[in-house]
Chains A and B, each alone.
Chain A
């Protein structure tokens, strides 16, 4: 690596821009390349395209397919616009907020930075139900903070509640997105800008923001898709404000009407397709710029006093908010409520041990496999798609985003429809859970992967190739070490998502194979909120342990290279 870095200096000037696309063509004649591509694409077809298609076909099964379509269009027009409205604002707010916070975090000393990152990583584990319970008990109409402290009587059951909760929820992940993108920048650019007399604001405006375009786009796009398919938040806090996703949930659970569910899903696909088109086009434009970046000097982000103060205040508020929420989840486990009074107790711990620990091991195993395997798969695929394939980029990219376009329950439903008969009989097995987790989280991994890969200087690979390395060596020896931080954070993201995902597995778990989040669900259902919060605590601790483990890996790898 160090050797390559020294040699790299002027290699880029040897290539004129228009020749860039040619240098991979060697592989196209190689049958093994195509076999490799086929092996990568086959699982996508089997586990994403096939189930989704089966679900959509349901829309046309039945005597009056067209009538259902027009009925759905008429009845859910408002829910449809609500979906677009709330998803747009949630994605917008969470992206902007995440950028400022990420920029602020990178201004901090490295110790405090590390603590912030740990808190952020914990907040990725947002155990369903219990976090909304804690949200309501803090900020609801009789909330601890909103009512007892600030004497406000808030009513969060409307669109602002939905947008607010979604934005805050998505922000954590987006911050991590931005931190990675910012850290990957070349510090030399800032130095030269400063030498040329640029102030901090103009450096941010002219250098940081344009270079962050892929990160902005990816963050916005992923958040938009997540918000479109999110049915949990509107159900819990939307009140009368319902979105298409929450209406789909109602049709599915309340009426078991698959035809209508499928039609509504198709409707949900339109804004998603539109945003996908927009995203892809914008990405292509920003691709043109990233050839310019080539250094690995640690960036030192410009700021002045005013920027620092504003960012610090923002950071404090945000982390206060996050800490309060997680503290209240933890505390709930050790409290006993009696006649409205609160006591401290340890007795809930005893109740916890009645639960079967095997569920925890299974969940842990599933999440770890999903994290590593899913991330590896998406990174290899993203590399092939971004750098190697002459065609089909858009198709594969779209297929990879599909799982996020369906609300979790529908993705699960599609899996049962697809895998309930031979030769693909998987229902009732542990495999169906594993595959659904891996492929449901795929959009996240592949988005992170392509953001990371597309912001890499192509020159380094070219240099490697010119020095005689074959594509696999280039991937393993040059790209992978550079991508390792992004890879590990993708592993962690997918780990936490599969630890806490509920919608997708709700139909797939069986009496034999249960996951931890279901135990949580059951505890809440039987009114044992204390036990539920202890289970959430366990989930958070598991993620923390996993996070520290990955940090250890990152540290070791850093020393090695």
Chain B
């Protein structure tokens, strides 16, 4: 349920099992795919989040060397982000963007979080994602937790139509002032001629 079929993880554990991988994962994975164990350090980081919030709220999408992706509900976003910033040490949001999945009727907004101050996670990126419905896309803003996300969220608003509640300016940023069309990055917006 938590996994988008388009977004199958290339390697690592099957999604809804945050527990130690080896024997049950090998049995569950298709035999042709090479099964690699999730790297221990990244696993440790993710399991800290899971132990705090419980694995019904946090769904792990993938854990690869240096890249981790977790999926949370929109209502828990601010709490989880505050925990990640204060306890794990990811202190800034590198980019915020969204992807339109019309097949699931959802838009996935993804926050890439990085760390400048802690050396052992300097190369790691934790992707915090959430999904919202396409018809009424509303999400809580994270600018009180990560100030660097301000202009990125504004751009996501104008490009995808996702309203961030609590953001001071949900306005057009890069597009011309008289833009009266659909948000461009939605899949039903077709470039002319193609």
* Chain A bound to chain B: no
Chain A residues engaging chain B, CB cutoff 8 angstroms: none
